[in-house]
Chain A
Amino acid sequence: MVAVAVAGAGCLCACGNTAEDCFERALKGNARFALPNGRVKSAYTASYPVFLVNPEIVAARPGDQSLSLHFFLTAAREAFLQAGISPQLLQKKRVGVIVGTSVDASFNCFNVYENWRLHSPNPHDKEYLVRYFNSSTAAAVSRYFGFTGPFQTIVTACASGTDAVGLAKNWIINNVCDVVLCGGTDEINLIPYDGFIRLLIASKDRCRPFSQDRNGINIGEGAGALLLVNKKLEQEFHLTPKGYVLGYGNACDAYHPTAPDPEAKGLKKALCFALKEAAVSSKELAFVNAHGTASQANDAAEAVAFKELLPQVPVWGSKGVTGHTLGAAGAVEAVLTLLALQHHTLPATTGFTTLDPAIGFSPSTQTTSLTKNVAVSNSLAFGGCNAALVLSTEDIHG
Chain B
Amino acid sequence: MVEFYINGFSSFQGDISTDQLTAYFEARRLRRMEAIAKNALFCSCQALEQAGLSISEPKELALSVAVGAGSLESTCKFMDSIINDGDELSSPTAFAGSVHNATGLTLSMFLNLHGPCVTTGQFDFSFAGALLTAQQFLKSGQTQEALVVVAEDINPVASEYASQEPALFAPVLRCPQGPFVRAAAAFVLSAKPTEHTLYQINRLEFTRTKNPVIETATVATAAWNALETARFMQHEKSFILTDSFACATLLIEGNAYVKP
Q: Does A34 contact B (CB under 8 A)?
A: no
| B175 vs chain A, min Cβ distance (A) | 10
B93-146 contacts to A, CB under 8 A, are 95-102, 104-105, 108-109, 112-123, 125, 128-129, 132-133, 135-137, 139-140, 142
Among B87, B155, B161, B210, contact of A42 (Cβ-Cβ < 8 Å): B87
Say which one of B23-31, B44-52, B68-76, B179-187 lies at the interface with A: B68-76
| A147 vs chain B, min Cβ distance (A) | 6
Q: Which residue on B lies nearest to A386, using beta carbons?
A: B117
Q: Which residue on A lies nearest to B86, using beta carbons?
A: A43
| A203 vs chain B, min Cβ distance (A) | 16
Q: Does B260 contact A (CB under 8 A)?
A: no
Q: Does B90 contact A (CB under 8 A)?
A: yes
Residues of chain B contacted by A42 (CB below 8 angstroms): 87
**Contacting pair A198 B92 (CB below 8 A):** yes
Count, A-B residue pairs, CB within 8 A: 233
**Contacting pair B100 A155 (CB below 8 A):** yes
**Contacting pair B168 A126 (CB below 8 A):** yes
Among A106, A251, A383, contact of B116 (Cβ-Cβ < 8 Å): A251
Task: Say yes or no: A191-B79 contact (C-beta < 8 A), given A105-B70, A106-B69.
Answer: yes
Q: Does B208 contact A (CB under 8 A)?
A: yes
A199–B92 Cα gap in the complex (Å)?
A: 5
**Contacting pair B98 A105 (CB below 8 A):** no
Residues of chain A contacted by B129 (CB below 8 angstroms): 150-154
A152–B126 Cα gap in the complex (Å)?
A: 8
Residues of chain B contacted by A252 (CB below 8 angstroms): 63, 104-105, 108, 113-117
| A347 vs chain B, min Cβ distance (A) | 30
Task: Say yes or no: A383-B95 contact (C-beta < 8 A), given A106-B69, A139-B125.
Answer: no
Q: Does B78 contact A (CB under 8 A)?
A: yes
Interface string of B138-161 (1 = CB under 8 A from A): 011010000000000001111011
Among B83, B97, B157, B173, contact of A257 (Cβ-Cβ < 8 Å): B97
Q: Does B241 contact A (CB under 8 A)?
A: no
Task: Say yes or no: A385-B117 contact (C-beta < 8 A), given A44-B87, A136-B122, A249-B142.
Answer: yes
Residues of chain B contacted by A108 (CB below 8 angstroms): 75
Q: Does B213 contact A (CB under 8 A)?
A: no
| A76 vs chain B, min Cβ distance (A) | 16
Residues of chain B contacted by A43 (CB below 8 angstroms): 86-88
**Contacting pair B95 A151 (CB below 8 A):** no
Among A105, A150, A249, A251, contact of B114 (Cβ-Cβ < 8 Å): A251
A151–B64 Cα gap in the complex (Å)?
A: 16
A106–B75 Cα gap in the complex (Å)?
A: 8
Q: Which residue on A lies nearest to B67, using beta carbons?
A: A155
A246-265 contacts to B, CB under 8 A, are 248-255, 257-258, 265
Interface string of A112-136 (1 = CB under 8 A from B): 1110111000000010011001101
Residues of chain A contacted by B121 (CB below 8 angstroms): 105, 136, 153-155
Q: Which residue on B lies nearest to A113, using beta carbons?
A: B79
Task: Say yes or no: A143-B208 contact (C-beta < 8 A), given A255-B109, A265-B114.
Answer: yes
Among A134, A146, A154, A266, contact of B210 (Cβ-Cβ < 8 Å): A146
A173-205 contacts to B, CB under 8 A, are 173-174, 176, 190-192, 194-200
Q: Does B169 contact A (CB under 8 A)?
A: yes
Residues of chain A contacted by B132 (CB below 8 angstroms): 150, 152, 167, 171, 176
Q: Does A163 contact B (CB under 8 A)?
A: yes
A134–B122 Cα gap in the complex (Å)?
A: 10
Residues of chain B contacted by A269 (CB below 8 angstroms): 114
Of A129, A133, A154, chain B has the most CB atoms within 10 Å of the CB of A133
Q: How many residues of B contact A (CB 8 A)?
A: 73
Residues of chain A contacted by B113 (CB below 8 angstroms): 252, 254
**Contact-residue size bin, chain A (C-beta under 8 Å from the other chain):** 35 or more
Residues of chain A contacted by B75 (CB below 8 angstroms): 106-108, 191
Q: Which residue on A lies nearest to B75, using beta carbons?
A: A107
A114–B114 Cα gap in the complex (Å)?
A: 39
Residues of chain A contacted by B100 (CB below 8 angstroms): 102, 105-106, 155-157
A327–B149 Cα gap in the complex (Å)?
A: 21
A153–B136 Cα gap in the complex (Å)?
A: 15
Residues of chain A contacted by B136 (CB below 8 angstroms): 167, 170-171, 174, 176
Residues of chain B contacted by A102 (CB below 8 angstroms): 99-100
Among B70, B92, B118, B123, contact of A250 (Cβ-Cβ < 8 Å): B118
Task: Say yes or no: A143-B118 contact (C-beta < 8 A), given A255-B109, A273-B142.
Answer: no
**Contacting pair B165 A383 (CB below 8 A):** no
Residues of chain B contacted by A143 (CB below 8 angstroms): 208, 247
Task: Say yes or no: A151-B122 contact (C-beta < 8 A), given A43-B86, A191-B79.
Answer: yes
If A106-B70, A156-B117, A384-B105 are given as contacts, then 9 extra A-B residue pairs at C-beta distance below 8 Å, sorted by A number, are A107-B69, A113-B79, A139-B125, A157-B101, A171-B132, A191-B98, A194-B95, A383-B117, A385-B101
Q: Can you list 12 pairs linking A and B with CB atoms under 8 Å apart? A: A42-B87, A112-B157, A130-B172, A150-B132, A155-B119, A156-B104, A174-B139, A191-B98, A194-B90, A250-B117, A253-B108, A383-B101
Residues of chain A touching chain B, judged by Cβ–Cβ distance below 8 Å, are 42-44, 102, 105-108, 110, 112-114, 116-118, 126, 129-130, 133-134, 136-139, 142-143, 146-157, 163, 167, 170-171, 173-174, 176, 190-192, 194-200, 248-255, 257-258, 265-266, 269-270, 273, 277, 381-385
Q: Which 10 A-B pairs have the closest CB atoms?
A: A195-B95, A155-B100, A252-B117, A383-B105, A250-B116, A155-B121, A152-B129, A383-B101, A254-B108, A136-B122
